[in-house]
Amino acid sequence: MSERFVIEGLAGKKTLQGEVEIKGAKNAALKALPASVLFEDEMPMGNLPDIEDVRRMQELIAGLKDGPVLRKDIAERLRASIVLTGPVLARDGEVTFPYPGGCVLGERPIDLFLQGFKALGAEVEEKDDLFHFRAKNKKLKGARIFFPFISVTATETLMLAAVLAEGETVLQNAAMEPEIPVLAEYLNACGANITGAGTPTITITGGGLLHAAGRKYVTPPDRIEAGSFIILAALAGKEVKISHCEPKHMGALLAVLRRADVDFEIGKDYVTVFGGNKENSAYKLISVRTHEYPGFPTDLQAPMAVFMSQATGEGTLLETIFDGRFRYADDLIRMGADITVMNPHKILVRGPKNLSRKELEGPDLRAGLAYILAATVAEGTSTINNPYVIDRGYERIEERLFALGLSIRREQV
């Protein structure tokens, strides 16, 4: 039996009201869980989101009790599985893993990880679709590593590996996503020596296993979930408070929405959107280009396209991180959006256009969320066929949106 979401669209009306609490960040939790391998004692964790990807990572870690091997069936479906390879290699001196899976966003190579491990003194053997890394004398050695591209997970993986390596590791052209300094600060409190996390140069002085001694890692709020709800509130909300979030992690989105004339108030840990003060057609269509943090996040690119389709004017959305992240565009066009795919990195959007109901199938997690947004502003009842991709990253989304007044239900088919 499969499931689907059924959403009765608001036909452009702005009726959602109330408060939605943001859960812990998926992409923070998925890196903090692997960090637990660096500890001698238990690493207590708080504010973990209750989502599929977190459960898969927990299963992957539980599987390590049989040796330093990542379970192939799980790792092949979870991109973040690769983050676990760093701490396991550093602790056990070896690790075996398959090519990681995850959302299909065009090519997602792992060369930066492989080169990084080699730089830290590990040797690789590739056999039967598995990578097997082994550190000389079972111990990684600190090194200076320059990333030719900025990669979030490669930065995190090598930062974690370096915590147990001998001597100093310097990571240059590192990613600066807020999840990284949050994790580094926690690890430092437990005995690690990491400086510069949150900047392009991170220096790690390796040492022994870490000690939590009861100290808890608290997962920071999910800035992508918060951003998605802010966009939803601008399009379909009368007055919606997005609470338990970290507005300072959402500077790029809030700046774009400000320029688009969205009315909102920023508090210390909340953003209240007064969508009802304006018709969607009164919003200005602003061109956006995705960028590594602190730029506009690629994970908000699809929800932003829905916003742009409802705003007035013409503009482009330029994707600079991934190829193949516009696979949702055809469906939005079928719903009535005026979008031209210029090339694999760029779409042109003209708005505003009324959207109408469709049967949809989210190609990936963030596009799935964009479909929820599109179905909400559309006229008529839409269905989204594979809620599993959305459940991977958003906890009980239908209950939380229902509480704001959206008619959304999960149906067995």
- The strand ranges marked E within 217-320 are 217-218, 237-243, 264-266, 270-273, 288-289, 313-318
The answer to whether 394 contacts ligand EPU (rule: CB under 6 A) is no
Dihedral angle computed from the Cα positions of residues 399, 400, 405 and 406, in that order, rounded to the nearest 10 degrees: -70
Please say which residue, 111 or 123, places its beta carbon nearer to ligand EPU: 111
The least CB distance from residue 248 to ligand EPU, in Å, is 18
Per-residue binder mask for ligand EPU (CB under 6 A), 348-367, x = binder: -----------------xx-
Looking at 18-71, list the stretches that DSSP marks H as alpha helix, in order from N- to C-terminal side: 26-35, 52-62
The least CB distance from residue 103 to ligand EPU, in Å, is 5
Give me 218's structure tokens.
Answer: 């608290």
Of all residues in the chain, what percent are helix, strand and coil, respectively (each to 5)?
A: 40, 25, 35
Please say which residue, 81 or 280, places its beta carbon nearer to ligand EPU: 81
Q: CB under 6 A: which stretch of 42-50, 63-71, 108-116, 117-125 binds ligand EPU? A: 108-116
The least CB distance from residue 369 to ligand EPU, in Å, is 9
Q: CB under 6 A: which stretch of 106-114, 230-238, 343-351, 401-409 binds ligand EPU? A: 106-114
The answer to whether 109 contacts ligand EPU (rule: CB under 6 A) is yes
CB 107 within 8 A of CB 323: yes
Q: CB under 6 A: which stretch of 103-111, 163-171, 202-210, 254-262 binds ligand EPU? A: 103-111
Instruction: Identify which of 196, 204, 177, 231 has the alpha carbon closest to the alpha carbon of residue 366.
Output: 231
The answer to whether 388 contacts ligand EPU (rule: CB under 6 A) is no
The least CB distance from residue 81 to ligand EPU, in Å, is 9
Q: Which of 322, 326, 371, 394 is close enough to bind ligand EPU by CB under 6 A? A: 322
CB 54 within 8 A of CB 28: no
Q: CB under 6 A: which stretch of 41-49, 59-67, 110-118, 345-353 binds ligand EPU? A: 110-118
Residue that is written with structure tokens 């390596």 in the block: 165
Angle made by CA atoms 300, 304, 307, in degrees to the nearest 5 = 150
Q: Which of 299, 319, 391, 398 is close enough to bind ligand EPU by CB under 6 A? A: 299
Report d(CA 413, CA 387) in Å as an integer. 12
The answer to whether 321 contacts ligand EPU (rule: CB under 6 A) is yes
The answer to whether 124 contacts ligand EPU (rule: CB under 6 A) is no
Per-residue binder mask for ligand EPU (CB under 6 A), 44-83, x = binder: -----------------------------------xx---
Please say which residue, 6 or 119, places its beta carbon nearer to ligand EPU: 119
Give me 334's structure tokens.
Answer: 């079928």
Say whether the peptide bond before residue 294 is cis (omega within 30 degrees of 0).
yes
The answer to whether 319 contacts ligand EPU (rule: CB under 6 A) is no
Q: What is the DSSP string of 186-220?
A: HHHHTT--EE-BTBSEEEEE--S-B--TTPPEEPP
Please say which residue, 140 or 390, places its beta carbon nearer to ligand EPU: 390
Residues numbered 259-298 forming contacts with ligand EPU, rule: CB under 6 A: 298
Please say which residue, 283 or 328, places its beta carbon nearer to ligand EPU: 328
The least CB distance from residue 95 to ligand EPU, in Å, is 16
Catalytic residue among 74, 103, 105, 273: 103
Give me 403's structure tokens.
Answer: 């509480």
Backbone angles phi, psi at 332, to 5 degrees: -65, -35
User: What's the Cα-to-Cα distance from 179 to each of 12, 273, 316, rounded to whole Å?
Assistant: 35, 25, 29
The answer to whether 337 contacts ligand EPU (rule: CB under 6 A) is no
The least CB distance from residue 179 to ligand EPU, in Å, is 7
The least CB distance from residue 135 to ligand EPU, in Å, is 19
User: What's the Cα-to-Cα distance from 398 to each of 16, 72, 146, 251, 259, rounded to whole Å?
Assistant: 13, 31, 43, 27, 30
245 is catalytic: no
Strand partners, 112: none
The least CB distance from residue 363 to ligand EPU, in Å, is 11
Burial 322-353 (b: 16+ CB within 10 A, else e): beebbbbbebbbebbbebeeeeebebebbbbb
Please say which residue, 119 or 209, places its beta carbon nearer to ligand EPU: 119
- Residues identified as active-site: 103
Binding site for ligand EPU (CB under 6 A): 26-27, 30, 79-80, 103, 105, 107-113, 149, 151-154, 298-299, 321-322, 365-366, 393
